Structure 1
């Protein structure tokens, strides 16, 4: 299995490294394609509209943001066997439908009702992955200043923070220009925004 994964992925270019507190950016992971906004039918985040709405409400974040982030992250196969095989090749790989790294998950779960859960469970438990992503976005929101000079909405900044980490999010809020990977992530978020809204109507 691992050999097949290597063959399938060696032609893919990687993301630039992101801070450890960023759950999703992953060096060496399959890169988003031109069809990144069109996930495989069996991995379409719209199937998870109900838990997205539920966990977004619990975390006090916009459900459309959480759903759009899941669409942004859907470029990568989320089959549990694939994820575990890839993790054997890249021990720092992200897990789950929201592509969360271990450090981000372990930090986010502190004091939460899933504090007893393990990062290794994310590939098999989509609800846990969505819940963790929702609370990570909640924690990012707490880091935003009351006012910012950058040309981004609150949800756009949170999505940038999800991809590039809280420190970079704060810099973007101050007016710093995103790098190529962060800008691509933002562009995909904007493309996926209406799709996320439509998906939530299924909840």
Structure 2
């Protein structure tokens, strides 16, 4: 899912922030000091903090180690996927318009979830639970990366393992194998990798804290 599809959703959040920033007149008979009204910048900062994947650092480390993958990679992917507001109601509303939309803080599609849960501790869980359960979303993403790693060819191009797994997460196993074999990433995949590299340092800081 591309970020442009969430322009309207983001606009709604901005409008909500602006409403919150509008001062309310105190009652004429009130002698109490007026309650400070949140500013647009403070509302924006609060919304940004609510979207920051670093708040899931503990779950990321636990689930990544459980699946045998690098916590920094899992966190960097969460940063990559944080371009849209991960709100259960908004995600479900969007899914009604676009049935193949992804769910949860890791933006996982149903097919990937169904594959990753087989024989795993969360085998009894459902894809529809992802928007309400960030820990489940992170757990499923970590195991999906584990499964992608098992599909990597022994002989690979100059890309790092982390980059190839990110390609697989974004574009699927077939594209991952093609890039591993030397095929140049397409524009969308390359953008995903560039974003991953931009997020790498803060992802490492998040899981190290």
Taking structure 2 as the reference length, the TM-score comes to: 0.78
Q: Deviations along 1:178-200, whole A, 9 cap, x unmatched?
A: 11100000000000000101111
Q: Which has the higher contact order (CA 8 A, sep 6+)?
A: 1
Moved runs in structure 1, 4+ residues, more than 3 A?
none
Structure ranking higher in helix proportion:
2
Look up the SS of the partner of 1:77 in the other structure.
coil
User: Are residues 1:201 and 2:208 paired?
Assistant: yes
**Partners in 1 of 2:146 and 2:117 — Cα distance?**
12
Contact 2:164 2:180 in 1 (8 A): yes
Deviation at 1:64, TM superposition (A): 0.5
**Partners in 1 of 2:6 and 2:84 — Cα distance?**
14
User: Are residues 1:179 and 2:175 paired?
Assistant: no
Q: Choose the corresponding residue for 1:88, options 72, 85, 96.
A: 96
Deviation at 1:7, TM superposition (A): 8.1
**Partners in 2 of 1:201 and 1:143 — Cα distance?**
28
User: Which blocks of at least 5 consecutive residues in structure 1 are unaligned?
Assistant: 12-38
Aligned residues: 170
Look up the SS of the partner of 1:123 in the other structure.
helix
**Partners in 1 of 2:177 and 2:70 — Cα distance?**
19
Matched ranges for 1:104-143 at <5 A:
104-143=112-151
Matched ranges for 1:1-203 at <5 A:
8=8, 40-148=48-156, 150-202=157-209
Taking structure 1 as the reference length, the TM-score comes to: 0.80
**Partners in 2 of 1:185 and 1:146 — Cα distance?**
24
User: Which blocks of at least 5 consecutive residues in structure 2 are unaligned?
Assistant: 12-46
